[in-house]
């Protein structure tokens, strides 16, 4: 009896129940991880999307999102994502590593969408967490010829892969996007290496920028019905 109760307690603390998020900013957090349905650009088109949390543990999060979007084929409709919560805000130069691993899949790739990491940094430690002075994106895939903001400025070798590097500004925010040449559906790497590259080659001011947001997800433009499944995402900032 005692053993059964102990196991029950362990099961409820280590794994959250499945959650369904269909509201524009439907959000769920447990331990170090969150999931946000995040339909920030929904008014540029028509469609629907819900995100589902399967499980969360200390070593990762499992979730998926199902969407259908049409209209304005060059506009992002949403960014359903998993994120790190309670990020300890420190300057990028003080961070020794940002190890992360992910395994994901799309059941229908006849879509216009990317699969990407999204990180924001800012000089102001109290900056809002949905934008920054700088945005670092790592596109593990793109479907339907969608493009990052700005234009292609270089080819970069980081963490054993070769990436197209794109740069563009969105108001005051400077966005660097590293784009894989073909979909990488299983990836583990150290995101600090991307900041180091930008510091060395693009004058990125790592010693005055706080890391304020770290997320992984997908940006649908148009298409569907399509389901994006993240079987396991993990990330840490050291
Ligand atoms: C998720 O990934 C982390 C880091 O690779 C690993 O430690 C953990 O066991 C994985 N979890 C599952 C459920 O596969």
Q: What is the mean pLDDT of the chain?
A: 93
Ligand 1 mean position, distance from CA 60 (Å): 6
Tokens 């054993």, located at residue: 160
Q: What are the residue numbers of the active site?
A: 135, 219
**What are the residues whose beta carbons fall under 8 Å from the beta carbon of 171, sequence distance 6 or more?**
none
What's the confidence (pLDDT) of residue 17? Answer: 57
Question: Among residues of the chain, what percentage have pLDDT more than 90?
Answer: 90
What confidence tier does 1 reach under pLDDT thresholds 50, 70, 90?
Answer: very low
Flag whether pLDDT at 12 surpasses 70. no
* pLDDT per residue as tens digits for the range 142-159: 999 999 999 999 999 999
Domains of the chain: 20-235 (2.60.120.180)
Residue 188 CA, closest ligand 1 atom number: 5
* pLDDT per residue as tens digits for the range 204-231: 999 999 999 999 999 999 999 999 999 9
55 CB neighbour count, 10 Å cutoff: 15
Average pLDDT over residues 176-200: 98
> Model's pTM, two decimal places?
0.92
Query: Cα–Cα distance between 116 and 91 in angstroms, integer?
Result: 23
* pLDDT per residue as tens digits for the range 54-96: 999 999 999 999 999 999 999 999 999 999 998 989 999 999 9
Query: Cα–Cα distance between 108 and 17 in angstroms, integer?
Result: 27
Flag whether pLDDT at 6 surpasses 70. no
Centroid of chain to Cα 165? 17
Ligand 1 mean position, distance from CA 234 (Å): 7
Flag whether pLDDT at 46 surpasses 80. yes
Query: Which amino acids bring their CB within 6 angstroms of ligand 1?
Result: 59-60, 101, 232, 234
What's the confidence (pLDDT) of residue 9? Answer: 46
Query: Cα–Cα distance between 160 and 183 in angstroms, integer?
Result: 15
User: Which helix (H) or strand (E) is 147 found in, with range?
Assistant: none
């Amino acid at each position: 009896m005692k053993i059964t109760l102990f196991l029950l307690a362990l099961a409820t603390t280590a794994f959250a129940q499945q959650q369904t998020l269909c509201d524009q900013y439907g959000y769920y957090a447990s331990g170090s991880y969150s999931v946000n349905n995040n339909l920030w650009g929904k008014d540029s088109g028509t469609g629907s999307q819900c995100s589902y949390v399967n499980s969360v543990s200390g070593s990762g999060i499992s979730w998926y999102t199902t969407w259908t979007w049409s209209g304005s084929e060059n506009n992002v409709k949403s960014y359903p994502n998993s994120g790190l919560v309670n990020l300890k805000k420190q300057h990028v130069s003080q961070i020794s590593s940002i190890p992360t691993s992910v395994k994901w899949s799309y059941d229908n790739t006849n879509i216009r969408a990317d699969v990407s990491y999204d990180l924001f940094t800012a000089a102001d430690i109290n900056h809002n967490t949905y934008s920054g002075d700088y945005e670092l994106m790592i596109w593990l895939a793109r479907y339907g010829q969608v493009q990052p903001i700005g234009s292609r400025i270089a080819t970069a070798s980081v963490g054993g892969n070769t990436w197209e590097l794109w740069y563009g500004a969105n108001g005051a925010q400077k966005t660097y996007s590293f784009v894989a040449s073909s979909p990488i559906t299983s990836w583990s790497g150290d995101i600090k290496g991307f900041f180091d590259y930008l510091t060395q080659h693009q004058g990125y001011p790592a010693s005055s920028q706080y890391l304020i947001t770290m997320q992984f997800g997908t940006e649908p433009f148009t298409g569907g019905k399509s389901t994006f499944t993240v079987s396991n995402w993990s990330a840490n900032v050291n």
